[in-house]
Chains A and B, each alone.
Chain A
Amino acid sequence: MGQKTPRIYSVELNGAKDMKQTDKGDGKDKYRGLQDNCLELGKNQRKEHLTKEIDLDDHKLSNKELETKYHTNIVTGLSSTQAAELLARDGPNALSPPKETPEIIKFLKQMVGGFSILLWAGAILCWIAYGIQYSNDKSSSLDNVYLGTVLALVVILTGIFAYYQEAKSTNIMASFSKMIPQQALVIRDSEKKIIPAEQLVVGDIVEIKGGDQIPADIRLLFAQGCKVDNSSLTGESEPQSRSCEFTHDDPLETKNIGFYSTTCLEGTATGMVINTGDRTIIGQIASLASGVGNEKTPIAIEIQHFVHIVAGVAISIGVLFFIIAVSMKYRVLDSIIFLIGIIVANVPEGLLATVTVTLSLTAKRMAKKNCLVKNLEAVETLGSTSIICSDKTGTLTQNRMTVAHLWFDNQIFMADTSEDQLKQTFDQSSGTWASLSKIIALCNRAEFRPGQERVPIMKRVVVGDASETALLKFSEVVLGDVMEIRKRNHKVAEIPFNSTNKFQLSIHKTDDPIDKRFLMVMKGAPEKVLEKCSTIMVNGQEQPLNNSTAEAFYTAYMELGGLGERVLGFCHLYLPADEFPETYSFDVDAMNFPMSDFCFVGLLSMIDPPRSTVPDAITKCRSAGIKVIMVTGDHPITAKAIAKSVGIISANSETVEDIAKRLNIAVEQVNKQDAKAAVVTGTELKDMSEDQLDEVLTSYPEIVFARTSPQQKLIIVEGCQRQDAVVAVTGDGVNDSPALKKADIGIAMGIAGSDAAKNAADMVLLDDNFASIVTGVEEGRLIFDNLKKTIAYTLTKNIAELCPFLIYIIVGVPLPLGTITILFIDLGTDIVPSIALAYEKAESDIMNRKPRHKKKDRLVNEPLVVYSYLHIGIMQSLGAFLVYFTVYAQEGFRPSTLINLRVEWEKDSVNNLEDSYGQEWTRYQRKYLEWTGYTAFFIGIMVQQIADLIIRKTRRNSIFQQGLFRNKVIWVGIASQIIIALILSYGLGSITALNFTMLRSPQRQMLLLVVTIQASVLVCGCAPRHSHLGVR
């Protein structure tokens, strides 16, 4: 144990974490007096939720009773043997990891989801068909076996691929959650030992001190100045003092219990372990979170919907033509084979892989932008998000106190609060400023950790609390080397800050060689500081403090306080040299120095400022139709101030209270419809019914929830989901995990987030920055748009693949396109282009439209299907048929001859089938011609898919707005199509199983000519989608 023991679950980044904790600490006390709040009441209510689950009475027992209960001894601890027995009985003191779905189940899930079922059905039908064929005729061709095998392979490979993708992103997470083993100082066999915290058992006596993480739930037996941070458990940001007295019936309230995974901030304590592992309070909450069901992601619902459409079309057309075929006196076996053909033609075999690749490409892109996606499908969920419930601290703000305003010479000055401030630009010429800056630099105990000279000031690690750190950094920026200044102004005495005094004081020898007076500097709660002053400095001159100056002070104080800022007052006093000679010995306990008649110098206010990228991100959200709701445990005034400065509450909107104040009427008299914004506190929320919450959520576009507990977050999320919204929630604490789970997309903080939060979340923000969410939203919307394009592209050729069967069955022409060839289109030429559509850049309006309504704006909707099937699809089929008829006519079979030729054509015994010119063909020669026809039809579809690809580039923009060359991958896709087609029709022409033949070159020229005409018609086909049909 010791200072160096890193806290588990947290990553130290420039000491930000430390700051946050201390900031939540004494800082709050300083201005708590300013505004009254019903904190105590709130606390009680917030905890109810948890209390119900907790059955703990150890806090009520005396030490003796405890010893008996746990068979231990407070002085000597457990014996090693006892401990070993208990460890064997209770298991290690660690949270059991969330239940992992067995890998094999995950894998099988990938194998049977969505299209896979259809494909499996197709494959099995193929095998059945072969079985029937084989039982009729032992020499029947193996085509159906090949086909079935290919279909099965497609499913298996796609499944493996999807599984691999999923596993990859899970692995990234696994590396995250690697815990640093924690140590605990325990008394066993009367000896102090350091053992891994995992080996703790109930009854162990452990010692903790400031900076340690509490290794288990402990009942304190001895405590000295012990304060703990329970924020991750209860959401309370103030440090809680701990002692060994039983103070409250509620185990969460009583002071003599320390909870597992909370942090001891200061002081020391000894305690007895009363709960370990999953039986700890945190463990119970963690298991609660796993009880909240995971909702299906919107994209999963969309894909399912798509599968239903495609399967519906496939099965109904299949069955319809099965009936037609049977009534046309085809053999049942043949009809079954037609059925298979129709299903194969209808199922976009490659789409599954394409969607997975597309999603993982985007996930990769998002990871680069600091959004780590755990669940691939969450990529799109973010895009359909309509409400973001965001944390304040760390997400919207920089998570560090920074000096925001100064008040001196009766003026408020604004300080730079951006992330990388290099200098402060306010007017620094006044004499008052010289004094104020000196107080700021001297009356401060914070210090830079040594060895950081090269680090930018704002990034240096500081030892000290958040306010002092802010002041130190501020003065370092303004004055230069503060340490040097402090060295020159030697400190002779000091009273540190405490919550009773509410001030900090130090006495220094000045660096002025002439002036031998001691300088007494003080900072603290402004009203306390002012009490001790009799003069005020204006423009470097001391003036008596009268009513008007005092009033100016209060106005400034209220104004800064109203901005949600933490205000500190500064004053000084030069001690007369005659009374306090250089050798004077100051005694802080005896207070042998004056404590009144100080000279008030100025006010300074600090805030955890918003991240500079956030206001812009919020504006983007707003124009994208996303409602941003702030949910924070912080004080309403601070929350509102931050909300205003980042734009969650826009500049010209008012809350009911604002209006009341402006019109000088009672809150009840205000017309609620005039207010656009609302600040709801946890207390108010507690008293609201579901309907009331719904009303708040629907009637105010701008909402801030302040003083809320993490449990209430869950209530808010559920409220939002009742409005049919897709809700994104950010969170970091253990208690956030149920809300993160419940949300459509849970976003955990990568830096400040606890392990439980990361586990429950779908996405991890690596930089904790709200702006990253917005980039994520943009990517998510882009992926939805692009998936739509991909699907439209993929669906189009379905008709061109289906028509050959229908024409074959009804008109009786030789089969224009074989099933194997269809697979070559679906899994060959079309794969790269459809993935290439994922690289399509955002259309200009992507962040200017409302988020899609999850029940109305479907991935695959009627216009898309109609446009793909009935417009482009039909055109494609006509084009491909033209090519098919051309090939047959040029070889001797004119279209008129082809009609109803099917039966003769396919008879193996007919080896002298006459064509239109009197030539006679053997069966194999015909088969070869049929394959040439397949190839021609294939090329026909392929070339038209190139045109289709180009028109699919856009949904809203015109093709020229979108630009033909911005997405280079599209051209790679087109090249791949052509190359694959060339290889198939030239390179593999000799492999008969593939059914490809070489096309003669004049034929090909003819093809290209014909197809180009068709393609240009296709491009003209853009016209109808802008027509009254609203088709895209």
Chain B
Amino acid sequence: MGQSSMVLFGLILLFYLVFYGFLAALFTFTMWVMLQTLNDEVPKYRDQISSPGLTVFPKPVTALEYSFSVSEPESYKGYIEDLKKFLTPYASEAQKNLKVCANGVLSEQKGPVYEACQFPLNLLEACSGENDPDFGYSQGHPCILVKMNRIIGLKPQGQPRIECTGNSKGENTTTLAAYPPEGNIDLKYFPYYGKKLHASYLQPLVAVQLNYTASSTPKEVTVECKIVGSKNLKNYDDRDKFLGRVAFKITMRA
């Protein structure tokens, strides 16, 4: 009795081994076939990201709220480091091998080698970090970088630029400076050909610098940035709060 049940158990074990082995092989095989149908350079479909989202740097700790004290370097140290880290690929030495492209035209390429255009840091002027390693945070004029998400093959129409407006509480007024001027994004950085073909690609950036006029503290301002000037770049979607726009809040104490 015991022996025959052992045999049965063995048979069942064997059955499951073979059965699951077969299933695993089948699954692996079909996955492999599926991966073979993919293109290494470009995803098969890009319909779900037809229009780019906007993101900001430095990355705020809590959801899109910057809060620091001008007099305490520790409170904004994280932001500065984040910015520095983000801008590392934009350093002049890193950009040495990149192409200097003509302004205002799309740099469409046929390959097989795809070149990236230079994005000189000095375009960001006061926010480039070259002159002011504190990106204005120590003076109470903090810089925020705004960028468009990378989307393969995206070709903006018209002259896209990032327009930011500031809204502060009470009578305080805030002026915003944008670099490059008017927040322009040059067409020469488009289209993007993907991580594999376009490895050295640098995204165009726009810097926004806040200038508070009022002296009362804390100073609070809500900034809203959106892409304008291009027909095919959406800047409003009632469900996606980051599609072509971004809003963030800056609280600055003395």
User: Taking beta carbons and an 8 Å cutoff, which residues of A are in contact with B?
Assistant: 870-871, 874-875, 878, 881-882, 885-886, 889-892, 894-895, 908-909, 911-912, 914-925, 928-929, 932, 992, 1000, 1002-1003, 1006, 1010, 1013, 1017, 1024, 1027-1029
> Bound state CA distance, A870 and B31, in angstroms?
21
B-chain residues with CB within 8 Å of residue A992 when the two chains form the complex: 239
B142 within 8 A of A: no
> In the complex, what's the smallest C-beta–C-beta distance from B150 to chain A, in angstroms?
5
Listed residue (B11, B15, B30, B54) with the most chain A CB atoms within 10 angstroms of its CB: B30
> Hey, which chain A residues are within 8 Å of B150, CB to CB?
914, 918-920
Nearest residue (CB) in B for A924 is: B240
Digit string of B42-82 for contact with A (CB within 8 Å is 1, else 0)? 11111111001111000110011000000000000000000
Residue B242 at the A interface, CB < 8 A? yes
**Binary CB contact string for chain B from 4 to 17 against chain A (1 if under 8 A, 0 otherwise):** 00001001100110
Q: Which residue of A lies closest to B194 (CB)?
A: A917
- Assess whether B190 is interfacial by the CB under 8 Å rule: no
Distance of A667 from chain B, by nearest CB (Å): 44
Q: How far is the CB of A903 from chain B (nearest CB, A)?
A: 15
B34 lies within 8 A of chain A by Cβ: yes
**Listed stretches B19-27, B128-136, B224-232; interface member:** B19-27
- A909 with B60: CB separation less than 8 A: yes
Q: Which of B191-224 contact A (CB under 8 A)?
A: 192, 194-196, 198, 201
Q: Give bound CA distance, A1013 to B26, whole Å.
A: 10
Residue of A nearest to B37 (CB): A1006
Also in contact, A1010 and B30, with CB within 8 A (given A909-B64, A912-B149, A918-B195):
yes
| B contact residues around A890 at 8 Å (CB) | 38, 43-45
Tell me whether B149 and A922 are in contact (CB under 8 A): yes
Given contacts A890-B38, A917-B42, A1028-B11, contact A895 B31 (CB under 8 A): yes
We find that the number of chain B residues with CB closer than 8 angstroms to chain A is 51
Interface of B, secondary structure class, is loop
CB atoms of B149 and A917 under 8 A apart: no
A-B contact pairs, 10 of them (CB 8 A): A909-B60, A911-B242, A917-B43, A918-B196, A920-B52, A920-B151, A924-B242, A925-B240, A1000-B45, A1006-B34
- Least Cβ–Cβ distance between A909 and chain B, in angstroms: 5
B192's closest neighbor in chain A, by CB?
Answer: A918
Q: Which residues of B contact A925 (CB under 8 A)?
A: 48-49, 53, 240, 243
The complex places the Cα of A922 from the Cα of B227 at a distance, in Å, of: 15
Interface membership of chain B positions 234-248, coded 1 if the CB is closer than 8 angstroms to chain A and 0 otherwise: 000101111100100
A892 CB contact (under 8 Å) in B43, B64, B201: B43
Tell whether A922 pairs with B53 under 8 Å between CB atoms, given A928-B48, A932-B48.
yes
| CB of B113 within 8 Å of the partner chain | no
B35 at the interface (CB under 8 A from A): yes
On whether A918 and B198 interact (CB within 8 A), knowing A875-B23, A890-B38, the answer reads yes
List of A residues within 8 angstroms of B121 by Cβ: none
For A921, list chain B residues within 8 Å (CB): 49, 53, 149
Assess whether A894 is in contact with B49, with CB atoms less than 8 Å apart.
no
Q: Contact check, A924 vs B27: say whether CB atoms are below 8 A apart.
A: no
Q: A922-B243, A925-B240, A1029-B15 are in contact. Are A891 and B48 (CB under 8 A)?
A: yes
Q: Is B123 part of the contact surface with A, judged by Cβ < 8 Å?
A: no
B101 at the binding interface (Cβ < 8 Å)? no
Contact of A920 among B149, B201, B241 (CB under 8 A): B149
The distance in angstroms between the C-alpha atoms of A1006 and B44, with both chains bound, is 12
Contact partner, B34, options A886, A891, A914, A1002, Cβ 8 Å: A886
| Closest residue of A by beta carbon distance from B150 | A920
Indicate if the CB atoms of B30 and A882 lie closer than 8 Å.
Answer: yes
Q: How far is the CA of A616 from the CA of B61 in the complex (A)?
A: 84
**What distance in Å separates the Cβ of A88 from its nearest Cβ neighbour in chain B?**
74
**Cβ contact within 8 Å between B19 and A1024:** yes
**Do A894 and B152 have beta carbons less than 8 Å apart?**
no
Q: A909-B63, A911-B242 are known; give 12 further A-B pairs, CB within 8 A.
A: A871-B19, A882-B27, A889-B35, A889-B44, A916-B43, A916-B195, A917-B194, A920-B55, A923-B242, A1017-B26, A1024-B19, A1028-B8
Instruction: Report the 3 A-B pairs with minimum CB-CB distance, sorted nearest first.
Output: A918-B195, A922-B53, A920-B149
Task: Say whether A885 contacts B43, CB under 8 Å.
Answer: no
The CA of A917 and the CA of B240, in the complex, are separated in Å by: 22
